[in-house]
């Protein structure tokens, strides 16, 4: 390991943006980090049919990235569809070069002002978490850099590489969706809607009632002909204190017990429910939960236009570089699948039974 030296933050800019040159410089930083590291582990994922190789410079970032992706791990392959280089500067003593933008250029969702896939490169930088993600689609390579692995926030660990997955899958006509998915061997439903609508609690209640689990917060959807399919991305679930009172079964399964009061707890489902954690299912319906306070739940038909309004804003507003193509896929989803309002009651077993009935009709 190299001796300590100052680490450069991403906070200065050169005058003429050249994202390809910056990508090359950042890639050289990873090579330096790998040379400085004691170990360079590599892991393989099956992401919706694509083989991704995750290459780490040192061990520091492994624990921040892999727990949420454990259910997607596969044996090493002869060839990767995408190589992802992952490292931090503090543990490897490899400073990141200055980028071709300034601090005034940061806009929503980690996007950089006036950059829209220039040079075949997608990129996003989150100043709050100190995470830089770059996809060089033409070379089938990607980078994810963090200033300090010890300061990775819980939401990054719950959904690692999310921006990268969004860009990569978009190139394959697949779409990340802000929602949860649960199901049976016959298929799955997509639970979506704005924050606080009950989708996470519904998904976890269905899991406790015996249904399969594909994810909470973000899943991946694909249309093939007239058929829709949903893929699992992360084996995590987020749960707040109110939901913990409703489902105390998760109290001893929380990964971030020292979280701040405003933060949700994270549960890695693969660790505790491996038999119910699945990678993909045919998608049978879209459900928009709504908390009613009634004793019983019920499912009522919903117009596709209303389902689209519940689905699209929360998806597109949180993903860097989400464009018209994303909205088009979401519109096709609500047009091709039955859409329902799930009016949530207090009996989670009954709710799970309704979801199962909807899938298997």
Instruction: Give whichever of 254-258, 315-319, 325-329 has the largest mean pLDDT.
Output: 325-329
* Same domain flag for 212 and 299: yes
* Same domain flag for 101 and 192: no
By mean pLDDT, which of 40-54, 67-81, 98-112, 173-187 is the weakest?
A: 98-112
* Same domain flag for 23 and 48: yes
- List, in order, residues 6 or more apart from 15 with CB less than 8 Å away: none
Q: What is the pLDDT of residues 220-264, one digit of tens each?
A: 999 988 899 999 999 999 998 888 998 999 999 998 756 677 788
Domains identified in the chain, total number: 2
Q: Which tokens in the block code for residue 206?
A: 């269905």
Average pLDDT, the chain: 89
Range(s) of the domain holding residue 161: 19-170
Point out the domain boundary residue: 130, 152, 170: 170
Rounded Cα distance between 298 and 306, Å, is 18
- List, in order, residues 6 or more apart from 293 with CB less than 8 Å away: 346
Whether 11 is in a domain gets the answer no
CATH number at residue 233: 3.40.50.300
Q: What is the pLDDT of residues 108-162, one digit of tens each?
A: 777 887 776 667 899 999 887 889 999 998 899 999 999 999 998 888 899 999 9
Point out the domain boundary residue: 170, 202, 230: 170
Q: Which tokens in the block code for residue 194?
A: 């704005």
18 vs 45 pLDDT, higher one: 45
Point out the domain boundary residue: 170, 204, 238: 170
């Amino acid at each position: 390991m190299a001796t300590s030296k100052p680490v450069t933050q991403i906070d200065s800019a050169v005058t003429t943006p050249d994202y390809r040159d910056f990508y090359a410089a950042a890639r050289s930083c990873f090579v330096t980090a790998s040379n400085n590291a004691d170990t360079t582990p590599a892991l393989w994922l099956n992401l919706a049919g694509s083989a991704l190789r995750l290459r780490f410079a040192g061990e520091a970032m492994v624990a921040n990235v892999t727990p949420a992706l454990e259910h997607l791990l596969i044996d090493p392959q002869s060839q990767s569809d995408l190589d992802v280089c992952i490292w931090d500067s503090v543990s490897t003593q490899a400073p990141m070069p200055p980028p071709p933008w300034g601090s005034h250029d940061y806009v929503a969702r980690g996007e950089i002002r006036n950059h829209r896939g220039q040079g075949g490169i997608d990129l996003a930088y989150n100043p709050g978490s100190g995470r830089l993600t770059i996809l060089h689609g033409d070379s089938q390579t990607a980078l994810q850099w963090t200033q300090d692995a010890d300061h990775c926030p819980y939401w990054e660990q719950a959904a690692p590489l999310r921006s990268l997955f969004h860009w990569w899958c978009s190139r394959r006509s697949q779409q990340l969706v802000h929602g949860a998915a649960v199901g049976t061997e016959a298929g799955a439903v997509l639970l979506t809607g704005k924050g606080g609508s009950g989708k996470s609690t519904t998904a976890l209640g269905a899991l406790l009632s015996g249904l399969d689990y594909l994810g909470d917060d973000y899943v991946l959807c694909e249309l093939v002909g007239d058929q829709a399919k949903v893929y699992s991305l992360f084996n995590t679930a987020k749960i707040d204190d109110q939901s913990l009172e409703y489902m105390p079964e998760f109290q001893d399964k929380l990964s971030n017990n020292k979280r701040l009061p405003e933060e949700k707890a994270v549960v890695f489902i693969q660790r505790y429910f491996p038999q119910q954690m699945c990678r993909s299912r045919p998608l049978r319906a879209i459900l928009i939960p709504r908390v009613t306070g009634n004793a019983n739940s019920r499912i009522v038909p919903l117009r596709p236009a209303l389902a689209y309004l519940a689905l699209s804003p929360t998806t597109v507003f949180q993903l860097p570089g989400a464009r018209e193509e994303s909205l088009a896929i979401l519109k096709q989803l609500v047009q091709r699948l039955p859409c329902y309002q799930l009016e949530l009651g207090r009996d989670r077993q009954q709710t799970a039974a309704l979801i199962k009935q909807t899938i298997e009709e």
